[in-house]
Structure 1
Amino acid sequence: MNNRLTLSGAALLCAALAQPALAAEPASCQPVRFAEIGWADIAATTGVAMTLSEGLGYQPRKVMASVPIAFTGVKNGQIDAFLGYWAPSMDSIVEPFLKNDGIKVLPTPNLDGAKYTLAVPTYAAEAGLKSFQDIARFKDALGGRLYGIEPGNDGNLLIQQMIDNDQYGLGGFRMVESSEAGMLVQVQRAIRQKKPVVFLGWAPHPMNTQFDITYLDGGDDVFGPDHGAAKVFTVVPPDYETRCPNMGRLLNNLQFSVEIESQLMEKVLDKQDPQVVARTWLKANPAILERWLDGVTTFTGEDGLSAVRRHIGL
């Protein structure tokens, strides 16, 4: 009797030792603060990150901020992750934060194949407004205005620099700042009236399918080559991956495509909650979870994939 109990106990001990050790992250890692800057693409990707982290047992929340404030928050330890560093257009903004290791840019972009530069309705391009060098000739028809988005945005800064430096003959123009939604309302109004309008355009974004637009040539010196070809990176505090390695692994795994972001953004622009959008999209596209959650556990060290699948209702 006693021998059987001893053998059973030994068997249970061996079985327990054979199981992988569960390693919870420090309690300080459970709250995860994501910067959100009011752009549909960042709202969409942040919504996915928050949905996944919530399913893993973390406590995500978003902090609304302008681009410079988002980087400042990461540097000061008030924000844990910002998924919206567009390179190269934000390089001049990011440079001071990189000094003395103020922030860390994760090495693999969360989006490749993006673009960001000035655009016009295609009918305006067909009328001769095809490049940055053409804008000045259309000043009267444009009302001397170039449309940007929210104040402090990197694209707005580039437009203002062109105006201040009279680059491409834009010295007499005025930049109109509002928001992404406000700019698109103005574009839609101009298109209804068949008037020319010059505005910040980018991909991924549903504007590329909702409107017939053309990206202007000749802006390589300002927005970079190939119509502002861009990569989008995730930024974290320098020690974040050391302090919170599991969440760091998730953030490194999160890599999107232009197609995925466009699908998510369309719903976000319809005023749907980004986390609801993310949950719905993930239920319809569950295969991607294996890649995004590779090597990722729950906050308490359990199987991450199973936990997230339960969280989104699979």
Structure 2
Amino acid sequence: MLARTLRLSALCAAAIAIAPAPARAQPPAACRTIRLGHGGWLDNQVQNAVFGAVVAPFGYQVRIEPARLKTIYHRLATGRLDVYLQDWRPDNWMSSVTAIRDSDVARKRIAVAGTDLSGARHTLAVPAYLYRAGLKDFADIHKFAGQLDHTIYGIEPDNVGDRQLLSMIRRNTDGLGGFHLVQAGAGGMLRALAAKIRHHEPILFLGWQPDAMNVEYRIRYLGGGGAAFGHDQGAARSLILTRAGYAAQCPAIGGLLHRFRLPVRAESRMMYDIQVKREAVGPVAAAWIAAHPAWLKRMRAPLASPARG
């Protein structure tokens, strides 16, 4: 999938068709095709589908370009990609990769166009029944060590959260010294979560939102975590990156990117419909947009301007 370029129309034709705009002049040729990076994550796919549905009636064509994160940053910096809608902060990927991005932003080879997601999280979580039992904070974990079988379910070695947890285990931070971190990938963690909740058993895992798990299960994020996960239950956000000069060259799209934002709960819900209910991305995006006409009107305001580009 990462080796080929996909047309958004193949993913979300239904979304594009939901709200046709009146006939308008075509956008400038240099702005007509928007090259969107896709890092392979479902929430990024949802963002891209919704974005494509917003711009399509105005004569824009979105071209999805799947690539690894390092390649996405390189293409933005060299002008071979226009927009990337999911630059997660704080970073949850390899520091060697994000250091490249930070350098290119500092050198103005990559621009930050806006924040398209706030209220995201990436920290330890538990089922609601375990939270009610008293496991509400990192400082409470050691009290439940036996019930948890001294086990934390992480994601994978390259994940920043996993590395933070391993550091806490080595340093015995919050009494985690005797814990074991399971790194079986996101799929392995989610399978363990489903099994534990099905049997109403304790589980401590590295969770995040947006994600379908936040709709499918009643889970709670722990307080604490301090230097490792921040003091606001692992609060995170997603920034929009563009190639240098893109907003000036295509001001209408730049105006849209400045205001483009999806509620974290909405993304989780759409991901649930896709992952769990097995619905296609396009119809899911279309249904959400159709249910939020005020949001759509606000997003399309820069595109409707006579001076758009």
Q: TM-score range by the shorter chain?
A: 0.7 to 0.9
Equivalent residues of 1:29, 1:243 under 8 A apart:
no
Letter in 2 for 1:203: Q
Distance 1:199 1:64, change over 3 A: farther
After superposition, the C-alpha distances for 1:267-286 in whole angstroms (9 at most, x for unaligned) are 22233332331122223333
Distance 1:167 1:232, change over 3 A: same
* Match 1:257 to one of 236, 259, 263: 263
Q: Say whether residues 1:245 and 2:248 are aligned partners.
A: no
Shift, 1:218, TM fit: 1.5
Unaligned runs of 5+ in 1: 1-20, 305-314
Secondary structure, in 3 states, of the residue corresponding to 2:59?
Answer: coil
Structure (1 or 2) with the greater helix fraction: 1
Superposition CA RMSD, Å = 3.4
Name the structure 1 match of 2:82.
Answer: 80
Q: Distance in 2 between matches of 1:189 and 1:75?
A: 44
Shift, 1:234, TM fit: 1.1
Name the structure 2 match of 1:9.
Answer: none
Q: Distance in 2 between matches of 1:235 and 1:250?
A: 13
Shift, 1:227, TM fit: 0.7
Q: Say whether residues 1:37 and 2:37 are aligned partners.
A: no
* Equivalent runs, 1:1-150 vs 2, <5 Å: 24-27=27-30, 29-38=32-41, 40-90=42-92, 93=98, 95-106=102-113, 108-136=114-142, 138-139=144-145, 141-149=147-155
* Equivalent runs, 1:280-291 vs 2, <5 Å: 280-291=287-298
Residue range with higher mean Cα deviation, 250-259 or 121-130: 121-130
Unaligned runs of 5+ in 2: 1-23
Equivalent residues of 1:205, 1:261 under 8 A apart:
yes
Distance 1:232 1:57, change over 3 A: same
Equivalent residues of 2:40, 2:66 under 8 A apart:
yes
Shift, 1:291, TM fit: 0.3
Q: Distance in 2 between matches of 1:302 and 1:271?
A: 41
Q: Distance in 2 between matches of 1:223 and 1:284?
A: 35
Shift, 1:193, TM fit: 2.7
Who wins on radius of gyration, i.e. which is larger? Answer: 1
Name the structure 1 match of 2:240.
Answer: 234
Shift, 1:176, TM fit: 1.1
Letter in 2 for 1:265: M
Q: Distance in 1 between matches of 2:174 and 2:69?
A: 26
Equivalent residues of 1:160, 1:175 under 8 A apart:
no
Residue range with higher mean Cα deviation, 126-135 or 213-222: 126-135
Secondary structure, in 3 states, of the residue corresponding to 2:293?
Answer: coil
Distance 1:209 1:225, change over 3 A: same
Please give the TM-score of this superposition, normalised by the length of structure 1.
Answer: 0.73
Name the structure 2 match of 1:12.
Answer: none
Letter in 2 for 1:113: G
Secondary structure, in 3 states, of the residue corresponding to 1:227?
Answer: coil
The percentage of counterpart residues that share the same residue type is 32
Name the structure 2 match of 1:278.
Answer: 285
Name the structure 2 match of 1:267.
Answer: 273
* Match 2:202 to one of 181, 196, 199: 196
Q: Distance in 1 between matches of 2:109 and 2:204?
A: 36
Shift, 1:253, TM fit: 2.5
